[in-house]
Structure 1
Amino acid sequence: MKFRRYRLLFLSLGIVFSLFPGNMLLAQSTGSIRGTVSDTTGANIVDATVTATNPSTGLTRTQQTNGDGIFVFPDLPIGSYTLQIAKHGFQTQQREALELLTGQNIALDIKLTVGIQTVSVEVDTDTQQIQTATSEVATTVDQKQMQDLPLNGRNPLQLTALTPGAVLTNTGTESGQQDNTGLSVNGLRATQNNYQLDGSIYVDRFFDSVPILPNPDALQEFTIQAANFSAEFAGAGAVVQLSTRSGTNQLHGSAFEFFRNTVLNAKNYFQSTIPPYKLNQFGGTVGAPIVIPHIYNGKDKTFFFFAAEDMQQRSSPNPISINVPTAAELKGDFSGQSKTIYNPSTGLPYSGNIITTPESPLSAAVAKEYIDPVLANPNTNQQTGNFKSSSNSNVDRTQYLVKVDHAVHANNHLSGRYFYVQDNFQRAFNAPLGFFAENLFRNQSLTLSDTQIFSNTLTGTIYATGSRYARTQIPETPTLHTLQDLGQNLPLGTTVPIFAGVRANISGFVDLFSGGALTQDSTTFEYKAQLVKVLGAHTISFGGGYERTRIDADDFSYTPGDHTFNGSRTQNAAGQGGSAAADFYLGLGSTFFQDNGRKFYLRENRPAIYIQDDWKVTRALTVNAGVRWDPWLPPIDLNESLVGFKAGQQSTVAPGAPVGMVFNGDAGTVPSVFHNNYKAFGPRLGFAYNVAGQGRTVVRGAYGIFYGFPEGLLYQRTDAAQPIDLYLNIPAPPAWDNIYAGFPGGDPFPRAHVPPSQFKTYSFILPVSGGLLNPASKVAYNQNYNLTVEQQLPGNMAMSLAYVGNHAVHIMASRQFNPAVYGPGATIGNENSRRLYPGLGAMELADAYSYELYNSLQLNVTRRVSRDLTLLGNLVWARVTDNTSSGTEGQAGPPNPYNLNSSRGPADFDQAVRVNISANYYLPKFTSSRHWGELANGWQLNMIANLRTGMPYTVTSGTDRSLSGIGNDYADIVPGVSTNRTAGFSRIAEYFNPAAFNPAAIGTFGNTHRNVYRGPGYEDIDASIFKDFFTERRVHGQFRAEGFNILNHTNLNNPVTTVSSKNSVIGTPNSLGTINGSGDPRVFQFGAKILF
C-alpha cells in the first residue's frame, strides 16, 4: 500500500486523534439530544443554559444555546435523562424521563415563559415517537421488549423481524457463526449488513454475518437503521446497532433459568413420535458502582456490569426422509422401476430392466456395510422416505460479558467491554447412513471507547476494537469402514494426516457423507474517530476509520474425494430413463472431484473518511447531507492462491497454464487480482419536514449511495486452482473402485501445495478445474431511496407510511463460466473436450454480475411508551428481483452462462406480503389487598405474530440436460397441461401437478423460469405469560411460561421441485410436487428470574 494514496486519510485521522489525550478510549452506544429554545413569541433565546443529567449514573453535561437558539448534546450514552433549561428572566423548565435510544436523535422545540419559578414539564411520549431531525428509516427494540417478548433460544436477532422490510430466514438455536446469516433488510443480501456492538464493528468477515450475540439480559437495546443512514456508517445493507447494559449507582442484576424438554413439545406433522429434546439456559447479571471500602468510591464515576449465560442443548431435530434402494435394486433388479435402465456400454436397454453387467465390487461392499442393515430394520412404512434419519445434536455454549464505564470528569467518559463465547457443537447422523463432525467455536470481542467534550460546540470520540472468531471442525471417526477400507484404490488428496471419511451421494436416495476437517480464523481490528462541531444551525460530523482483517482457513473437506451417482450413466443418448441406484450398482458416477485441501490466508484493509452535516434550515425543516469515501482495496492472499482470468492472455509467470489464467506478476495483474477502486464516494441527502412545527406530522425523504464488498467465503470458494491447489473435477469418471485408472501420469494424489517460486516450471494437469476471479469486476454499490409520512395518533400511538426502494448493481457472486458447448455427439463423458475455454474444466468465476431491485410500501404502527401496552406492528408489500441471491452460488448459479439475465426473477428470500405484530400488555392491578395482591396482581401478557406469503421456488430438471457441465437446468413445461394440482389431492400429496413438467430437452436449459412459483404461506404466533412476585421489595421474582407456534400451525416447506424425482423409487408415486417436511410444531418453555 503506497502512503501517497492515503495521505489525506492519514492526515485527517491524525488531526482527529491528536486532539485526544493519550489515555482516551471508548466503547459505548450513543444518541443525541438537540433542540431550539425560544420565547412565547417565537424569538430565539441566546445563551440559555441547558443541562442534561442521567440520574442513574450521575452523568451531567451542560450547553449554551447559540445565536440561533440551538443546543446539541452529541454522543450521549443511551439512557434516561432529565433536561433543565434556564435563562435569567424566564421560568426554568425541567423535562423528566427523556429516553434516549441507540442512534436516536431527539429533537425538541422548547418555549420559555417569562417568570422566575421552576416548572416541570411532562414529557410528551407521543412526540418522542416521531423522528423530526433525521431522514433515516429506523426501528428500535428496547430492553423491555428484548427481555419480555418470547424468544425461541433467547436469540435477540430474531426480533429484527419486527422491522418493516426485514426478512429473517436463518436464526437458529443450534450453534456457530452461520446461525445468524439470514437477515435481509429491504431486499439486500444478509452479507451487506453492518453490525455494531457498543459503537464498533461486530462482524465475522469470513461469512460477513453477525456472530453469536450476548443474551437478552446483557443487552440494553438495539436499533436497525434500515435505509438512508448517516455517512458515519459503512455498508450497503442495514446498520444494526446493539448496546450492552452498563452499571449504575444502584446495585442491580438478575439470576435466571429457562428450560424445555420433550414433554413440553408437540409432534411435528410428519413425525410419528416426538423426538428427544432438552434445553437449559441459565445465568445472571450484576451491575453497580465500583467501590473499594476505604480506598475508592466509584459512585457517580466508575461502574461495572457483568453478564454470564450457559446453554446446554440435547436434541434430535426433525428427521431426514431418505429413499433407500431396495434389496432387489441392490441385486441389479429394476423390473419394478418405471424408467428404463440402459446399458452404458451399448446404449441398449437391459431386458426386463434387470442389469446383467457385473456389479461393482466396491458398491457391493458399501451396500453391505451401510445399506443392508437398514433393509433388515426398516423404520417407516411410507413408500417414499422409507428410512428416516435423525441427527443427534449436542450444543454446549458459555458466554460472559464484562463492561466498565468511567467518568474521568464531566467532559470525559471512558468505557471498555469484553465479550467471550465458547461454543461446542456435535452432531452425528443415525448409523449406518452417515456421520458428521464436532464444531468448536470461540469468539472474542474487545471494544474500548472514549468521549471528550472540548467546548460548548465541539465533541470528539475515538474507538478501538479487536475481534476474533475461530472455528475448528473435527471429523468424527465412524464405527464402520471408510471407502479405502472397503477396497477403493484412492489415496487422500493431502499429505496432512486426517480422517478419510466417506463422501458418496446416490441422488434421490441415500447420501453417505462425513464432515471434513477444517479450521477458520477471522480476526478484525478497527480504529475510528469522530468530531462533532455545532456551527449555528449546522451540526457537522467529521471522521474516519481503518479496519484490518485477517482470515486464515485450511479446508480438507474434499481430500477423500467426492462421488455423485445421479442416473445419467444408465440413460440413453436422448437423456431418457436411468436410475441413480443403477449407476451405483455399476459403480459409475456422474461426477467425481478431489483436491489436496484449500489453504488461504487473506489480508484486507478498509480505510474510510466521511463528513455529515445536519442542517436545521428552519424550525420545521432539517436537511441531512453527507458523503462517505469507502475505497475498495481487495484482499490479498499470502499463499498467492488467488488467480485471475483474462480471455486470450497467456501467462508468463506460469507458462504451462491454459490461456486465460493469469497470476501475480503477469502483465496488467495485481496481487489481489481485483483492482483497487478509489472512486467509491457515496453521497447521501435527506430531509425531515415537521409539518406545522408541532411534531405531530413529519414528512421525510432521502437518497443515498452505499458501497458493499464481498465476504471472505467467496474468495475461499474461488481460490482452488493449480498450481497452488490441485482441484480435479472428472465428469463420467471410470468405475469408482479405481477412479484414476488410465489417468495420464497416474494418480496425482497425495500432493503438497506448490509455492509461487515453482510456477515457472510447473506442469499443469489438464483440464484445470477450481475457481478464478474476474479482474475487471467493479465495486458493488446500492442506491437507496425513501419517502415517509409519519403521523402521531391519539392514545400514545404513531403511524407511518413509507415507500422504500433499493437498486444494487455489480454485486459479487460466483458462477460456472466455462460450459461445455453442446453439439452432435455430445455426452457427459466428453464434457471437457467441449469446454468454451480449452484447457479449463469446471470452473467457478468470482464476478460482479449480480444485481437486486427492491420496491416496497411499508405501513408501521407503534405504541412504544405506555404504562399498560407497548405495541409494534407493520404491514409490508414488497418485491425484490435479482438474478442470483447468494454470493457463493457456484454450481447452483445461473444455468445458462450465455445469458445471465435468464435467471432474473424473484429473489430466493422474496416475501410479497408480510405482517409482524408484537405486544407487551401489563394487566391492571386487580386488588389492593396485601394478602391477595401477590396472587391477583403482577401479570403480564406478551406476543409476537408473523404472517407472510409463501417463498418462491423453481422447478428444475435435476440432471445436466443441457450437457453443459453445470447441471442446474430448469424444467420444461408440458404444453396444454395445467400446473394446478389434481382434484381430490391434498396439497401435501400434490402441491402442483407433476405431469405439467418434464426434464429439459437435451441440449437446452429448460423453458420454465426461476422462482416464478410460490410455496405455502407462513403463520406463527409466539406468546408468553409472566407473573411477578414481591414487586414492592428490593428483591423480587418472576415466573414465565412461553409458547412458540402456540397454535401449533403446520407451516409446510416448499415442495419437491426436481423433475428427476419422478418415479425415482420402485413402487412409489411421483415425489415431484409433494411436500415432505414442515417447520417446528408448538414448543413450550418455562423460565424463572430473580431480579434486584
Structure 2
Amino acid sequence: MSAPRSLLLSLLLLFAVLLPHDAHAQATGTIRGSVLDSSGALIPGASVTVTNAETALERKADTNAQGIFVFPNIPIGTYAVTIGKAGYRTEERSDLSLLTGQVIDLQLPLAIGESTETVNVTSASTLIQTASSTVSTTINREQIQDLPLNGRNPLQLTTLTPGAALTATGTESGQQDNTGLTVNGLRPTENTYELDNAVYNNRFFDSVPILPNPDALQEFTIQSSNYSAQFSGAGALVQLSTRSGTNAFHGSAYEYLRNTVLNSYNHFPAKTSAGTPIKPPFKLNQFGGTIGGPIFRDRTFFFGAAEDLEQRSSANPVTFFIPTAAQMSGNFSSVATQLHDPVTNVNYTNNQITRAASPLSQALYKTYLAPLSATAAGQVTLSPNSNVSSTQYLVKIDHKISASNQVSGRYFYNQNNFQRTFTAPTGFFASNLFRNQSLALSDTHIFSSTLTGTVTVSAGRFARTQIPVAPGLQSLQSLGQNVPLGTQVPIFPGIRANISGFVNIFSGGALTQASTTFDERVNFIKLLHRHTISFGGEFERSRINANDYSYVPGDNQFSGARTGNAAADFYLGYESTFTQDNGRTFYLRENRPSLFIQDDFKVTRDLTINAGIRWEPWLPPTDLNQSLVGFQAGYRSTVAPNAPAGLQFLGDPGVQSSIFKNNWKTFGPRLGFAYNVGGSNRFVIRGAYGLFYGFPEGLLYQRTNQTQPRNFALSIANPANAWDNIFAGTTSPFPRAHTPVSQFATYQFTLPVAGGVLDSNSKVATIQDRNITFEAQINRTTAVSIAYVGNHAQHIMGSRQLNPGVYAAGATLANIQSRRLYQGLGAVEVASSYEYADYNGLQVNVTRRVSQGLHVLTNLTYGKVIDNNSSAIEGNAGPPNPFNLNSSRGPADYDVRLRYNLSALYDLPKFNTNRTLGAIINGWQVNTILSAASGTPITVTSGTDRSLSGVGNDYADLIGNPARVSGASYLNAYFNTAAFQQAATGTFGNSSRGILRGPGSLNVDASGFKVFPIAERFKLQFRAEAFNVINRSNYSNPGSTVASTSTFGRITAAGSPRVLQFALRANF
C-alpha cells in the first residue's frame, strides 16, 4: 500500500476510534451567534441553551472569551434559544426554524437587570443567509406535502431552484428514471445526493435511486454553488431529510386516484381506423400511510412510512407494418422497387421470389406476426401495456442517550416492477425489477461546549434485473435457428429481429446490475475564538456487478440491402448485419477516500470568511475480471503481445490496475465571504470561489466489455448464409467462455478488433465554481436575491470515435476499414477527458414566507451553457468530426436561456360570521406551480455518413436562411427546410451545432384541498390536482434530420395533456 493511502486510512481509523459507535441519522443544521451588552461589547461566559420545540432536545454551551457560541449538527426543527448571565435579564428567542444545512447566525443583546427577569421575543429566522457564501434553496415540508406532484416524485421540486432543470424524471413508472437533474449547466452525473446525511447515489449511473414518498420527507436542500469543503461532488448537493417522531403522535393515511376518464387528449393522439382519437387506458392507485410519535417522552421517538403504487396502463399507441400473407408466400408484386436474388443478384420477374423461404422466418411470422390484427397493407396499431407495481417503506428511530449523545437510525426499502415497452408485437416487453435498500447510522457526541464530533456509517444497495418477455418464451433457437447462444444465460435471452421500415421483433436484453455502496464519515467541529473549524474525513467503497446478455442470442438486422426490400430479406432470411457476443460482465471495485478542513471565521460581527480545502484523490476502480482495456497510440502490449498496436491491458508496463492513472494531487480549495451590511440582517453581500472534482460513473467502464481478449463480439455484414444457419460450412465461435488472463499471452486476436477502450491519459474532471450574491430582506416575510453564478468545467469524461476513416479519393462506405487511422482496429469508441463546458447565469429569487396564508417562492434565471458534447457517455459516437473535437462547440443540448418558476401555497381566508357559509368556505387551500422556459437547441444533421468516416452523424450544409417562411405552418414547417441539404461528400457539414431553437414551454399545475375537521387532532382532507391545468400543448423539437424527409422540419409530438388526480387523506 502506498504511503499516502496508508496515512489517509490511519487518520480515518483514528477518527473512528475516538468517537462512540452509536446510531444516529438525522439531517442537521447549526445555530451560532454572539452575545452583546447594550453598548455592543461582547459578553463572555454567558449561558446559552437551545431547545427543540417538538422533541424537547436540549443543548447547552457558554460563550467563549470572544462572546461567541455555536451549536453544530443539531437536528432540523423549530428551536428556542435562551441566554442568561448574572447581572443581566434572561433573553429568550423562540420559533427559530432550522433547515437542512442552514447556519443561523444570531446577535443577541442582553439588558442589565435581574436574571429572573425574562424577555421573550417570538422571532422567526431571517430569510437571508448572513454567515455562509453557499448558494442554496430549501424546499420545506409544506411545499413537499401540498404542491401538486405528478406521480408524487419529490425530485420534481428541485426545479424550483434557480438554475435547475429536469431533462428526464420518473413519474408513474416508479421514478426509475431520476437521471436528468442539471444545475447551473453541469451534467446530471455530477450531482451528489444525501438521504439523512448519508450518501444516496447509485454509482453505476451516478444518479439518485427511487426517493421516499413526499409523506416520508421533512424537507430537502439543494446547494447549487460553492458548498463547504465537508462535502464531495462537483454539481449540486441535494440533501433530503426524512421525518422523525415527536412527543405528540402524528400520522396519515391516504389514497390517490387517476384514470383514463380524467385525462385529456394529447395534441397528437392515436386514432382508430375511423379517425376517432384514442386516449390510452390508464389507471393509477397510490396508497399508504405514516405514523410517528414517542416511545419514551423526551428521549426516544419513532417514525414509519409505507406506500404502494399500482398502475395499469397502456403506452401511447404504436403503429408499424408487418409483411402481408402474400409477401410471406413470396409474392412481392405490390412493391414498386425491383427486387433481386440476394445470392445471384438476378432480378425477380414481377418481384415473384423463387428462392425458398426461410423456415425460421415462416415460424417467427406464424408465431408472432400472423395473429396480429392488420390492414390489407399490413399496418398494425397496438397499445402495449405499461404496468407498474411499486412498494416502499421507511423506518426511523431517534434516541437521546444523554445530554451529550443523541442517536438514531433509518432504513429505507423500495421495490419497483415495471414493463419497458417497445414498438413490437403484442406481448413483447422487458420486465424490470428494481430493488433498492438504504441504511444510515450515525452518532453526534458533544465532548465540550466547544467541540462536537459526528460519525456516520451508511450502506446502500441498488439492484436491477431485466428479463425479456415474449409470448410462450419462444426464442429464435427454439423456433429452429441453428445458432448457439453466445454463452449460457440464466434467464430467457430474448429475441432481436428488426425488419427495417416494418416491425422490430424485440423483447429487450437480459441483464442484471447491482451497485452497493458503503460510506463512513467523521466530522469534528471546534469553536476556537472567532473560528468555527470543521475537519474530518470520509471513506466510500463501491462495488458494481453488471452482467449484460443483450447480444448473447444474436442481433439480426434486415435492412433491404440484400434484395431491395427489408420484408423480402426477412422472407428469405438474408440479413444485412448479424451481431453476437458472449455476454458483457464486469465487477468494479472503487475506493473514494477524502479529508477536509473548513474554517468559518467571523472576522467581525458583520463579516464571515468561509475557507476550506478538501483532498479527495482519484483512485479509479479496478475490475475483478481484469477486462478493462486501454489505448495509447503506438503502445505494444507485453501482456497480450498479439494485440494490435495501441491496446493496453492490466499488468502492462506503466498501466495501472484501472487503466486510468491514480491522482493523489486533487486538492480542492474553497473560499467565500458573507458581509452583513451594517449588521442589520437586512442586506447581505456574499461571494465564493471553489475548485471541485468530478469522478466518472461506473457505466463508463462497461464500454470495454465487448473488446477482446477477455470478451468476444462478432459482427458479420451481409452473411453468406440465411439466418437459419448463419455458420453453415464454418464453425460458430460460440458458445464461448471469457478468456482468462492467463491466456492473454497466447491469444490470437480476430481482426479488426472493435468495441470500446479507455484513454489511459485521461484526467479527472475539474470544475471551477464562482458566485456573487446580493440579498435583501424587504420585510419580515419577503426576501429578494440577485446572483451571478458561473462555472468552468474541463476534462469531463466523454465518448468519441477513436478510429475514423480518413477521406481520400475513391472513398466509399464499403472501404472505411482500409482508411481507418489504426489498422488492426475497427470501429472503436474511446472514453477520454476531452469535453468541457462553461456556464454563466443571472439568477433572481424572491421568497415570501407564510403571511396571511400565502407562501411564495419564485425565481427567474437567464443563463447560457456552452460545451462540445452533451450526450450520454455510453453508446455515444461523440462529435461528428473526430479530427477536430472543438468543431462541435456550441450551446449544450439542455441549454435553456430563460427559465421562470413560481410556486405558491395559499390558505383561503376564514369566515366566522356565518356558520353555514364558514362550513362551505373555510378549510380550503389552493396551490400551484408555474414553469415557463425558452426552447432548447436544435442541431440539423444529414442523417447519413456523408463524411465517409464511419461516425455517421454529420451536420447538414446550410445553404439559405433557416428562419420559418412567412405564412408557413408552425407544426409542419417549423423552420425553412429548403435552407439545408445533406453535407457534401467527404465533409462534415458547414452548419453549426445548435443552430436553431425549439419551441418554448409553459406548464401550470394546480391543486385544491378541503379540510374537514373531525376532532381536535383528526382531520379529513379531500384533494383535487391538475397537471398542465391549462391543457397547453408543449411541443417537442421538430425533426432535424435531412434524410428523414417525412419528419424533417415537422413537429410530431407534444408533452402530456391535462391530467387530473383526486385523493382522500386522513391526518392526525
TM over 0.5: yes
TM-fit CA distance, 1:391: 2.5
Are the equivalent residues in 2 in contact too, given 1:434–1:513 (CA < 8 A)?
Answer: no
Per-residue Cα deviation, 1:916-968 (whole angstroms, up to 9, x for no partner):
10000011111255565333211101000111111222222223232222222
Per-residue Cα deviation, 1:798-846 (whole angstroms, up to 9, x for no partner):
1111111111111112222111233344333333333221111121211
- Which of residues 1038, 1048, 1053 in structure 2 aligns to 1:1072? 1048
**1:211/1:118 CA distance change after superposition, 3 Å:** farther
Q: Aligned residue for 1:20? A: 19
What are the residue-to-residue correspondences of 1:582-981 with 2, within 5 Å?
Answer: 591-731=577-717, 733-734=719-720, 737=723, 740=726, 746-794=731-779, 796-929=781-914, 932-973=917-958, 975-976=959-960, 978-981=961-964
Query: 2: distance between equivalents of 1:448 and 1:670?
Result: 35
Per-residue Cα deviation, 1:371-412 (whole angstroms, up to 9, x for no partner):
6666833799xxxxx654432111111111110011111111
Letter in 2 for 1:594: Q
Q: Aligned residue for 2:272? A: none
TM-fit CA distance, 1:890: 3.0
TM-fit CA distance, 1:469: 0.8
**1:172/1:714 CA distance change after superposition, 3 Å:** same
The question of 1:395 aligning with 2:395 is answered: no
- Which of residues 296, 308, 317 in structure 1 aligns to 2:315? 317
**1:309/1:626 CA distance change after superposition, 3 Å:** same
What are the residue-to-residue correspondences of 1:259-298 with 2, within 5 Å?
Answer: 259-271=257-269, 272-290=277-295, 298=296
Query: 1: distance between equivalents of 2:578 and 2:981?
Result: 27
Query: 2: distance between equivalents of 1:1004 and 1:581?
Result: 33
899-908 or 232-241: bigger deviation? 899-908
654-663 or 677-686: bigger deviation? 654-663
Query: 2: distance between equivalents of 1:325 and 1:1000?
Result: 34
Are the equivalent residues in 2 in contact too, given 1:94–1:118 (CA < 8 A)?
Answer: no
Query: 2: distance between equivalents of 1:718 and 1:899?
Result: 24
**1:328/1:682 CA distance change after superposition, 3 Å:** farther
- Which of residues 516, 532, 535 in structure 2 aligns to 1:539? 532
- SS of the aligned residue for 1:992 comes to coil
Question: TM-score, normalized by length of structure 1?
Answer: 0.92
What are the residue-to-residue correspondences of 1:965-1004 with 2, within 5 Å?
Answer: 965-973=950-958, 975-976=959-960, 978-1004=961-987
- Which of residues 425, 430, 452 in structure 2 aligns to 1:432? 425
**1:824/1:491 CA distance change after superposition, 3 Å:** farther
Q: Aligned residue for 2:139? A: 141
Q: Aligned residue for 2:1001? A: 1018
Letter in 1 for 2:953: N
- SS of the aligned residue for 1:392 comes to coil
Q: Aligned residue for 2:80? A: 82
- Which of residues 404, 408, 417 in structure 1 aligns to 2:401? 408
Are the equivalent residues in 2 in contact too, given 1:390–1:429 (CA < 8 A)?
Answer: no
**1:190/1:1058 CA distance change after superposition, 3 Å:** same
- SS of the aligned residue for 1:393 comes to coil
TM-fit CA distance, 1:981: 3.9
537-546 or 324-333: bigger deviation? 324-333
**1:128/1:681 CA distance change after superposition, 3 Å:** same
Q: Aligned residue for 2:1036? A: 1053
**1:702/1:849 CA distance change after superposition, 3 Å:** same
**1:866/1:13 CA distance change after superposition, 3 Å:** farther
Query: 1: distance between equivalents of 2:719 and 2:876?
Result: 19
Query: 2: distance between equivalents of 1:980 and 1:370?
Result: 46
What is the aligned-residue identity percentage?
A: 59
Per-residue Cα deviation, 1:1040-1068 (whole angstroms, up to 9, x for no partner):
11110111111111222222222xxxxxx
Question: TM-score, normalized by length of structure 2?
Answer: 0.94
TM-fit CA distance, 1:1018: 1.2
- SS of the aligned residue for 1:833 comes to helix
Query: 1: distance between equivalents of 2:515 and 2:653?
Result: 32
Letter in 1 for 2:43: I
TM-fit CA distance, 1:568: 6.7
- Which of residues 1040, 1052, 1059 in structure 2 aligns to 1:1083? 1059
Per-residue Cα deviation, 1:657-676 (whole angstroms, up to 9, x for no partner):
11111111211112211111
Letter in 1 for 2:282: Y
- SS of the aligned residue for 1:718 comes to helix
- SS of the aligned residue for 1:934 comes to helix
Letter in 1 for 2:656: V
Query: 1: distance between equivalents of 2:480 and 2:949?
Result: 33
Per-residue Cα deviation, 1:340-368 (whole angstroms, up to 9, x for no partner):
999999999x8999698969746677667
Per-residue Cα deviation, 1:418-439 (whole angstroms, up to 9, x for no partner):
1111111134557626712111
- SS of the aligned residue for 1:753 comes to coil
Letter in 1 for 2:1006: A
- SS of the aligned residue for 1:426 comes to strand
- Which of residues 249, 252, 274 in structure 2 aligns to 1:254? 252
- Which of residues 440, 450, 453 in structure 2 aligns to 1:447? 440
The question of 1:517 aligning with 2:516 is answered: no
Q: Aligned residue for 2:487? A: 494
Are the equivalent residues in 1 in contact too, given 2:424–2:503 (CA < 8 A)?
Answer: no
Are the equivalent residues in 2 in contact too, given 1:426–1:439 (CA < 8 A)?
Answer: yes
Listed as ranges, the gaps of 5+ residues in structure 1 are 291-297, 381-385, 571-577, 1063-1069
998-1007 or 261-270: bigger deviation? 998-1007
**1:433/1:957 CA distance change after superposition, 3 Å:** farther
**1:852/1:980 CA distance change after superposition, 3 Å:** same
Letter in 2 for 1:859: V
- Which of residues 31, 39, 53 in structure 2 aligns to 1:41? 39
883-892 or 409-418: bigger deviation? 883-892
Query: 1: distance between equivalents of 2:891 and 2:323?
Result: 36
Q: Aligned residue for 2:273? A: none
TM-fit CA distance, 1:908: 1.6
- SS of the aligned residue for 1:157 comes to helix
Per-residue Cα deviation, 1:850-906 (whole angstroms, up to 9, x for no partner):
111111111111113434111000111111111222442434422221111122221
TM-fit CA distance, 1:1083: 0.7
243-252 or 898-907: bigger deviation? 898-907
TM-fit CA distance, 1:740: 4.8
What are the residue-to-residue correspondences of 1:318-397 with 2, within 5 Å?
Answer: 318-322=316-320, 361=358, 376-377=374-375, 387-397=380-390
Q: Aligned residue for 1:294? A: none
Query: 2: distance between equivalents of 1:966 and 1:368?
Result: 38
- SS of the aligned residue for 2:706 comes to coil
Query: 2: distance between equivalents of 1:580 and 1:113?
Result: 90
Query: 2: distance between equivalents of 1:950 and 1:358?
Result: 53
TM-fit CA distance, 1:982: 4.7
42-51 or 814-823: bigger deviation? 814-823
**1:33/1:136 CA distance change after superposition, 3 Å:** same
TM-fit CA distance, 1:211: 0.6
- Which of residues 216, 223, 226 in structure 2 aligns to 1:225? 223
Aligned length: 1058
TM-fit CA distance, 1:260: 0.9
